[in-house]
Structure 1
Amino acid sequence: MKKIVLMTCAAAVLSGCSLVPDYMRPDMPVPQAWPQGPAAAATPAAKDGQSLWTDTAWKEFFTDPTLQRLIQQSLDNNRDLRVAALNIEVARATYRVTQADLLPNLDANGSGSVARTPLNASRTVPATKVTARSYAANVGVTAFELDLFGRVRALNEQALEQFLATEEARNSTQISLVAEVANAYLTWLGDRKLLALTEETLETRLKSLELIDQSFARGVSSELDLAQAKTAVETARANRALYLRQVDQDRNALTLLVGSPIADDALAGELDSMRLVEDLPVGLPSEVLLRRPDIAQAEHSLKAANANIGAARAAFFPSISLTGAAGYSSRNLSNLFEAGSGAWSFGPSVSLPIFDAGRNQANLDSAKASRDIAVAQYEKSIQTAFREVADALAAKGTLTDQMAAQGRLVEATRTSYRLSQARYDHGIDSYLNVLDSQRSLYSAQQELVSVQVERLSNLVSLYKVLGGGRN
């Protein structure tokens, strides 16, 4: 039995040739520097000793305590992230299965049989009834493939790369989740501010309606002024209902991302006080893009497809399998393990493909085409990532200026509204001019809130597309 075990173990460690093509990372299909158009922001490179955001914890970017609690709650409870983590366990188990194929499986089995030959079927002279018994206990290896041409190792390498790709997919899911929670919270803050602005506008318009109604009763204001004032009030009421609905829907979306109910006292903060890190060390495209988990995932998938070519090539060569067993055999169970009962068997088998109607060649062609598809997908993921970073940098360079200009517009329209109201009060202008100025002010204030949210969301997007902190 020791000889059989030693023979199978020696066969297991035979080093066969590898038919997997040498992997070469495709060249970056994007420029070596970020776009520097008129809208692009300055892109600070990482200084000596300064880490890129792929190596930085997300808490260093999202410093708001409320937002930190929401993000942490989502990392603990979000179901999409939980599924991504469980997918890693599935891929890890699959890799362990293929890894086990590199070594022989030892099985122990015992058997016993009893057969009776009747008198009329006996071949002995004189005829006698015969009862035959046999018992066996063996340890052996069944159909262990000698990986002389690297087929099993290629499949093992493919499973490993798929496992690593699944890990990167989980990292990508986490970064996306952090960004989604941040954007959902910013949207909720923005709509809540718009609701407060609408309620303030409604209150102002109600006061104006009350004054015009009194003036109409005294015959000072016209019925047209009264109708226009009522129109302004109902418009504000309709907007208030809209923002009430949006605030509740924003909270529902945030609850789904967080994965558990959010207490009322857990939502605190104002849009005007929200601060995010703006001076992100960007670095060169090759430094940033290759660190993104989605690109790392695409590269692992490419390596898996490359390894599959080796397995397809190995199918053209002979396949050698070993089957062996060693143990004891006896006609009586009582002396099964006594001296002289030893038994063994050894049966190698060789399979050489001769004619398969082109099946192996078709499998190889398919594997090569799959590898070429993976190359194209890898290059496309880099191009998409480059575009996302470039867009975020272009937005960052303009949104700050846009918000400053919008703030000045709000002040200008507020002055216009104040002067229009004064001219109407003195009978110089009609109430239509007041309504136009009031609508312009309200619209400018709404746009300012939208730009505030957009600027902060752009910083969140920049954090995400630069690879995000994973811790």
Structure 2
Amino acid sequence: MALAACAQAPVQPPPAVPLAHNFRDIPAGWADANAQAPALPADWWTMYNDAQLNTLEQQLIANSPDLASALARYKQAQAATGVARSAQSPTLGMSLNGQRDRQSDLKPLRGSLATSPAEYSSGTLQFDLGYEVDLWGRVAKTVSAGEAQEKAAGADLAAARLSLQIQLADTLLALRGADADIKLLRETEQAYQRQADLVTRRHDGGSASGLDLARAENQVESTRSMLRQRQAQRSVQEHAIAALVGANAAGFTLEPASDAGFVTPPLPLGVPSQLLQRRPDISAAALRVAAASDQVGIARSALFPALTLGLTGGFQSSDFGRFAQASNMFWAVGPTLAVNLLDGGRRRAQIAGAEAQLDEAGAHYRSVVLTAFQQVEDQLTLLNNYDEASKFDHKAADAAGRALDLAKKRYDQGAASYLEVVTAQTAYLQSRRSELDLSTRYRQAGVQLVKAIGGGWQAG
């Protein structure tokens, strides 16, 4: 009993991480909603009421090769646990051998008067039953470590699924932002072309300079260049979505759709400590600390003898015709106690290695938890500030629009040069594009917050 106690490593809990009482930068109006909001469902994306997103997420779950790869890794972990559990049960083996033998005439101890024949037949049917008595808990620790690794692999699968789902939603929002930008650039191109046509007529009539015409043409061509670049970016985002849902990019298309109805609802944040149960990557890291702790116990148990109970029996005969007779039966039964007396420090080194792996697992757990807190705070900060910034962007775009109208009137009246119009046009386009871009980033921050708080995954 004393030796068994020495072999057991104490269970190592995950290391402590500093926790805050609540999140710092919660957007206005979220606190009351969070107090009563239920946990996110597994199909969290349905809260956005977006039919296209729903369809794509379902395709991802059914067809994603990355998700299928993560599932295969989880099944490997399940199989490994099954292998570890098998050591808790007795083993039974059977061997059947039949052969014809000839002995050498000069074989040692076989003289000319030897009674054994030079040639003979030999048949053996043998059963071997064995069972290792788990005196030091090695087998139990191996099973415990395997179960922890299996659960960690399940959490890894959940994390991979959530990450892919978030990546899909984020990319779809980026694509819709590109659609809105493309629409704006097309409208701007048409407006600039009409303005350039007007300047051309004035130039032909002698009331506009060549400098004004060149500036007008520059505006048109620059806008066309921005439009083509944005269309290329949109195509790349479409290809990325195709890969996520397991489709061939060459035959995959998404029609432009507005994200005006894609509203980020208040999400159930809870308190920071709940992340320890809600995020699959944190759960996986904690389980790997437990598995590493078990590995220390396994390494320590190698210092002590291994006790195996064995039973061997069967039939053996040189006459195949009378093989299965009671007189041909043999058996042997007894325990085996084996211990390694000298190994050059190998087992001590294995213990040190296992303890170092435990330290690594603990440090990784702390890193994952701290990163999780950072990610939640990052997205909350973005949501809070983007919401305020969008109001300023909207006002800036309105002001730029008024300035453009005034510049055009002043130019038509001859009170200003065309440079003033060009400057106002540039400012207005930049303001509108900034407004659209900020709207997209706000929605993406909401989706990333879903990932930061663990999505719809709950620790089992």
State whether TM-score is above 0.5. Answer: yes
Structure 1 residues 275 and 267, CA gap change in structure 2 (3 angstroms): farther
Q: Which amino acid aligns with 2:77?
A: A
**Alpha carbons 2:93, 2:128 under 8 Å: kept:** yes
Closer, same or farther in 2 for the Cα pair 1:130/1:209, shift >3 Å? closer
Cα displacement string for residues 301-321 of structure 1 (whole angstroms, at most 9, x for unaligned residues)? 111101000001101111223
Are 2:221 and 1:234 aligned? yes
Residue 372 of structure 1: how far off its partner (Å): 1.2
2:127 alignment partner AA: V
| CA 1:172–1:335: 2 relative to 1, 3 Å | same
Secondary structure of the residue aligned to 1:271 is coil
One-letter amino acid matched to 1:135: G
- CA distance in 1 between counterparts of 2:104 and 2:77 reads 58
Q: Note if contact 1:20-1:310 (Cα within 8 Å) is conserved in structure 2.
A: yes
Q: TM-score w.r.t. structure 1 length?
A: 0.89
Which residue number in structure 1 is paired with residue 262 of structure 2? 274
Report the equivalent of 1:28: 17
- Taking structure 1 as reference, are residues 406 and 63 closer, same or farther at Cα in structure 2, changes over 3 Å only? same
Asked whether 1:257 is paired with 2:278, we answer no
Q: Deviations over 1:143-166 (max 9, x none)?
A: x43221111221222222111111
Q: What TM-score do the two structures reach when normalised by structure 2? A: 0.91
How far does residue 66 in structure 1 lie from its aligned partner after superposition? 0.4
1:305-320 superposed matches below 5 A = 305-320=292-307
Letter in 1 for 2:308: S
- 1:246-265 per-residue CA deviation (whole Å, 9 max, x = no partner) reads 12111111111121147777
The equivalent position to 1:177 in structure 2, one of 156, 164, 170, is 164
CA deviation map 1:265-309 (0-9, x unaligned):
753521323334x21111111113332000011011111101000
Q: What is the alpha-carbon distance in structure 2 between the residues aligned to residue 222 and residue 64 of structure 1?
A: 52
Shift of the 160–128 alpha-carbon distance from structure 1 to 2, 3 Å rule, reads closer
For 2:260, what is the secondary structure of its paired residue?
helix
Superimposed CA distance per residue, residues 180-200 of structure 1 (whole angstroms, 9 cap, x where no aligned partner):
111111111111111111111
Report the aligned-residue RMSD. Answer: 2.5
Are 1:304 and 2:291 an aligned pair?
Answer: yes
How far apart, in 2, do the equivalents of 1:465 and 1:368 lie?
Answer: 31
**Partner in structure 2 of residue 166 of structure 1:** 153
Q: Tell me how far apart the structure 1 counterparts of residues 45 and 314 of structure 2 sit (CA, whole Å).
A: 63
Distance 1:110 1:247 in 2: 68
Aligned equivalents of 2:437, 2:212: Cα separation in 1: 31
User: How many aligned residue pairs are there?
Assistant: 451
- Tell me the distance in 2 between the aligned counterparts of 1:293 and 1:127: 74
The worse-fitting range, judged by mean Cα deviation, of 323-332 and 243-252 is 323-332
Residue 92 of structure 2 is aligned to residue 109 of structure 1: no
Deviations 1:352-391 (A, max 9, x none): 2333222222211111111111111101111000010011
Say which is worse superposed, 287-296 or 324-333, in terms of deviation.
Answer: 324-333
CA shift, 1:130, in A, is: 5.0
Query: Secondary structure of 1:280's partner?
Result: coil
Matched-pair contact (CA < 8 Å) for 2:19–2:273: no
Q: Distance in 2 between matches of 1:119 and 1:300?
A: 65
Q: Percent identity?
A: 25
User: Partner residue of 2:67?
Assistant: 81
SS of equivalent residue, structure 2 residue 327: coil
Match of 1:10 in 2: none
* 1:182-261 correspondence runs (5 A): 182-261=169-248
The SS at the match of 1:230 is: helix
Deviates more, 1:220-229 or 1:328-337: 328-337
Deviation at 1:394, TM superposition (A): 1.2
Shift of residue 116 of structure 1?
4.1
What CA distance in whole angstroms lies between the structure 1 residues aligned with 2:445 and 2:94?
A: 64
Matched, 1:65 2:51: yes
Aligned AA for 2:47?
A: F
Q: Which residue of 2 aligns with 1:7?
A: none
- Give the match for residue 332 of structure 1: 319
CA contact (8 A) 1:41 1:393 kept: no
Residues 421 and 289 from structure 1, CA distance in 2 versus in 1: closer, same or farther, beyond 3 angstroms? farther
Runs of 5+ unmatched residues, structure 1:
1-15
